Amino acid sequence: MLTCSRSVLILILVLLTPLSLFAPAQQGTRERVDLLVRGGIVITMDQNARVIEDGAVAVRGGRIVAVGQSASVDATYVADAEIDARGKAVIPGLINGHTHVPMTLFRGLADDLDLNEWLTKYIFPAEAKNVTEDFVRVGTRLALAEMIRGGTTTFCDMYYFENAVAEETAKAGVRGVLGETVIDFPVPDNKTYAEGLAYTERFIKRWQGHRLVTPAVAPHAPYTVSEEHLRAAHALANRTNAPLIIHVAETRKEVEDITKAKGVRPIEYLARIGFLNQRTIAAHVVHITDEEIAILKRYGVGVVHNPQSNMKLASGVAPVPQMLAADLAIGLGTDGAASNNDLNLWEEIDTVAKLHKVFSGNPRAIPARAAFEMATARGARALHMEGEIGSLETGKRADLVIVDMDRLHQTPRYDIYSQLVYATKAADVRTVIIEGRVVMRDGRLLTLNEEEVRQQAQSFRERIARSVSQKD
């Protein structure tokens, strides 16, 4: 009877004791985080280029607080929300270094032309007749939906009504380096260069310090902006500590015209007038010499290579292997959807690796890992944001993408970089996280209404087509 009474007493004590006292000792010591992505193949793209099987990423306050093996991260952190990434790759968000996002509404409007004819006969006239703030908002939403679906978490843009681009970008939860375009002829939002520069200064003051939007100054190109106005744009960028975005050395004609007018090639010209600095982002940079590569390196200029747009407009092939050999900060861009005709960065990654192999005759010209780096870590350097994005490491912004790795076209897998560069497609992206916020979950957009975006974009087609068929 005594033994039985003791057993009953022990049972009663157990039932009355709080369950938390029986939890593992480490439960009470684990740090709380907002989100834990666990179980996937984590490709860090940091200096150690780690590939962590059964890896995990912990996120708090929009930043990464831990990256490592799932067991190790689980032992240290407990999350409010978890995402199971087993069977998938967890990669840094892709960086589209050069876009004109509202131009999605001109997709397919004019094709199979060289840059000069495409711009002067079709695009500039179509913009003059159609671009309004509403056009920009609708085109931007279409572009944002397309980029999120493809795993792009950061893009660098230059267009008109860029304040509207910024508002739509922030609402969708996407990161953008956004430049208001200034140019030496009347454009839809500003009729003079002075008006454009004043708009740009207001735009910068409004958005500086925003967690997602980095405002910038974007003089269009050396052949559309005078020396005086290039200097003014540079001065504004200096005064506001803003990035400076420009198209440069895109075609042979541009190089010939600038050389004839200024006595030096475009990169040399920009250096001579004091335009280049460590906040400059130069798009295209196709026709340059070894000496000009050295100039870009000396000034710390970021370069954005747009292989498919350059191919489609027959602009030429940039000397990317030489730029990489010089350790230039060079990323990848799609350009606008009017000259590509999509915003699919996976195609650019695949193309940059293959194009330069065939062009150089060297199959090792740009290996798969180097191509993927251009869309992540090196692409972040091109935008001068390497301290914030481009890799999965503690302290950086929590921009990450979860990608299927078990589709038929990805089977079997030997090398993860080969799989990502040569086999993975935009449709393989499952989940996208930007600044710690899930903006697409299991293929479903969470910050944009996809059907509404499609309908609004389609509504512009008839009026654009009608406008370009009219004779002035």
Write out the DSSP string of 5-57: HHHHHHHHHHHHS-GGGGS-GGGGGPEEEEEEEEEEEEE--STT--EEEEEEE
**465 falls within a domain:** no
- Between CA 463 and CA 402 the distance in angstroms is 38
Interacting residues of 451 by C-beta distance below 8 A, sequence separation 6+: none
- pTM score, whole prediction: 0.92
- Between CA 349 and CA 4 the distance in angstroms is 73
* Maximum pairwise Cα distance, the chain: 110
φ, ψ of residue 34 to 5 degrees: the values are -75, -40
Same-domain pairing of 413 and 320: no
- Between CA 375 and CA 364 the distance in angstroms is 18
Cis peptide before 341 (omega within 30 of 0): yes
Same-domain pairing of 175 and 204: yes
What's the confidence (pLDDT) of residue 25?
A: 37
**262 falls within a domain:** yes
Instruction: Report the number of distinct structural domains present in the chain.
Output: 2
Residue 303 structure tokens:
């370069």
Check which CATH number belongs to the domain holding 87 and give it.
2.30.40.10
pLDDT in tens, 138-151: 999 999 999 999 99
Domain of 422? 19-92+390-441
- Between CA 464 and CA 139 the distance in angstroms is 13
Same-domain pairing of 139 and 186: yes
Tally of CB atoms within 10 A around 472: 5
Q: What angle do CA 79, 85, 86 make, to 5 degrees?
A: 125
Same-domain pairing of 51 and 174: no
Distance, first Cα to last Cα, the chain: 108
Within the chain, which residues score under 50 in pLDDT?
1-4, 8-27
Interacting residues of 297 by C-beta distance below 8 A, sequence separation 6+: 326, 327, 328
**458 falls within a domain:** no
- 153-175 burial, b for 16+ CB within 10 Å, e for fewer? bbbbbbbbbbbbbbbbbbebbbb
What's the confidence (pLDDT) of residue 6?
A: 54
Same-domain pairing of 236 and 351: yes
Same-domain pairing of 352 and 412: no
**9 falls within a domain:** no
**224 falls within a domain:** yes
Tally of CB atoms within 10 A around 361: 8
Interacting residues of 280 by C-beta distance below 8 A, sequence separation 6+: 243, 244, 245, 246, 299, 301, 302
What's the confidence (pLDDT) of residue 471?
A: 59
- Between CA 437 and CA 159 the distance in angstroms is 27
- Between CA 89 and CA 404 the distance in angstroms is 6
Same-domain pairing of 216 and 77: no
**449 falls within a domain:** no
What's the confidence (pLDDT) of residue 24?
A: 39
pLDDT in tens, 244-256: 999 999 999 999 9
- Between CA 437 and CA 62 the distance in angstroms is 7
Among 326, 355, 389, the domain boundary falls at 389
What's the confidence (pLDDT) of residue 111?
A: 87
Contact criterion met (CB below 8 Å) for 351 and 308: yes
**168 falls within a domain:** yes
Check which CATH number belongs to the domain holding 126 and give it.
3.20.20.140
Same-domain pairing of 254 and 285: yes
Same-domain pairing of 399 and 355: no
What's the confidence (pLDDT) of residue 267?
A: 98
Same-domain pairing of 215 and 102: yes
Judge residue 244's burial from the number of C-beta atoms within 10 Å of its C-beta, 0-12 exposed, 13-18 middle, 19 or more buried: buried
What's the confidence (pLDDT) of residue 109?
A: 87
- Between CA 93 and CA 91 the distance in angstroms is 6
Contact criterion met (CB below 8 Å) for 281 and 302: yes
Same-domain pairing of 52 and 123: no
DSSP 93: P
What's the confidence (pLDDT) of residue 244?
A: 98
What's the confidence (pLDDT) of residue 113?
A: 87
What's the confidence (pLDDT) of residue 116?
A: 87
Same-domain pairing of 224 and 130: yes
